[in-house]
Amino acid sequence: MMDDFFFSLLLAGISVGAVYALIALGLNLTFWTTKTMNFGQGSLMMLCAMLTVFLSSQGLAMALAVIGSLLVVAAFGVFIERWTVRPALQASGGSMGWVVSTLGFGIFLQGVAAKYFGSQAVAFPDVVFTAQDFVTVFGQYVSLQYLVVLAVAVALILALELFVRKTVWGQAVHAVSLDPELALVQGIPVRLLVLGSFMLSSALAGVAGVLIAQIGGTVDPAFGFDLVLLGFVAAVLGGMGSSMGALAGGLLVGILSKLVGGYVSTAAEHGIAFALLMLALALRPQGLFGRPEVSKA
């Protein structure tokens, strides 16, 4: 029989790791189409969770509140691409201005949320299950909230992987990621794909926000900022641009940090993710599932 201590850590690690994977996947989506990442993802997570709280408090059914919030957050993706990423890319000819502009937009969103929803933590309602709901597997209590997080994250990642590999639109995304100018010449609607990637990326951030908010039980304007850093670590560890890499990277960061927290010291739990990042950059910069970048002379 599996040790209770190890099993509890493993399950929590898988669950939070699945959320990191979703965030990493969101970062990957925009990386495919524009070679940029939205570092304001954390604020979109917060916004989606806050809007869900607000809409459900107005009497909307929970499912509708979540869907409505996801739509709003997805629309923000269009705004982010148009007003923070595109100008930065055009103005600076490929420099890293978008890092500051997306981060700045995230901080701006935090301020707006603090103004309209207040800056204190507010209770986040249980979406599907409560913290008391669990099933017993081989004599171990397994939280249904954790299982939902894992199931949703894995399902979304697999669906996206299938979309990219098996559909025409997925192939078009692949073409844009390789050479956007050539893709445009071949009649691929590059602008549409870029906008779509930002919308989907933002919606994924929203899903991650709702999933993690129900674990913690509260949400406040600063929610999500630390999580994006861990999602970024997961994306780099797994290999930028790889969906399976995002999943593997997220789970690796989640499980290792919980195991280190449990077996070594809780004070080291947070730091281990960044130690992993440094190690990965030194030993395998392309990540677990990434391919080394080759540039032709």
Residues found near other proteins in the complex (CB under 8 A)? 4-5, 8-9, 11-13, 15-16, 114, 119-124, 131-132, 134, 141, 143, 145-146, 212, 215-218, 220-223, 226-227, 257-258, 261-262, 266-267, 269-270
- Identity of the residue, 211 or 240, whose beta carbon is nearer to other proteins in the bound complex: 211
- Identity of the residue, 114 or 244, whose beta carbon is nearer to other proteins in the bound complex: 114
Q: Give Cα separations from 222 to 74, 124, 226 (angstroms).
A: 20, 15, 9
Q: Phi and psi (nearest 5°) for 293?
A: -75, 130
In angstroms, the CA 149 to CA 210 distance is 10
- Identity of the residue, 71 or 121, whose beta carbon is nearer to other proteins in the bound complex: 121
In angstroms, the CA 108 to CA 104 distance is 6
In angstroms, the CA 183 to CA 172 distance is 8
In angstroms, the CA 208 to CA 153 distance is 8
Instruction: Look at the alpha carbons of 163, 166, 167, 173 in this order and tell me if their dihedral is positive or negative.
Output: positive
- Identity of the residue, 24 or 85, whose beta carbon is nearer to other proteins in the bound complex: 24
Minimum CB separation of residue 5 from other proteins in Å reads: 5
In angstroms, the CA 236 to CA 165 distance is 21
Minimum CB separation of residue 103 from other proteins in Å reads: 18
Minimum CB separation of residue 269 from other proteins in Å reads: 6
- Identity of the residue, 121 or 175, whose beta carbon is nearer to other proteins in the bound complex: 121
- Identity of the residue, 17 or 245, whose beta carbon is nearer to other proteins in the bound complex: 17
Minimum CB separation of residue 53 from other proteins in Å reads: 10
Minimum CB separation of residue 257 from other proteins in Å reads: 8
- Give the largest Cα separation in the chain, rounded: 61
**What single letter denotes the amino acid at residue 232?**
F
Minimum CB separation of residue 235 from other proteins in Å reads: 19
In angstroms, the CA 36 to CA 204 distance is 16
Minimum CB separation of residue 215 from other proteins in Å reads: 6
Residues in contact with 83: Cβ distance below 8 Å, sequence separation at least 6, in sequence order: 105
- Identity of the residue, 113 or 156, whose beta carbon is nearer to other proteins in the bound complex: 113
User: Residue 44 corresponds to which tokens in the numbers above?
Assistant: 């979109």
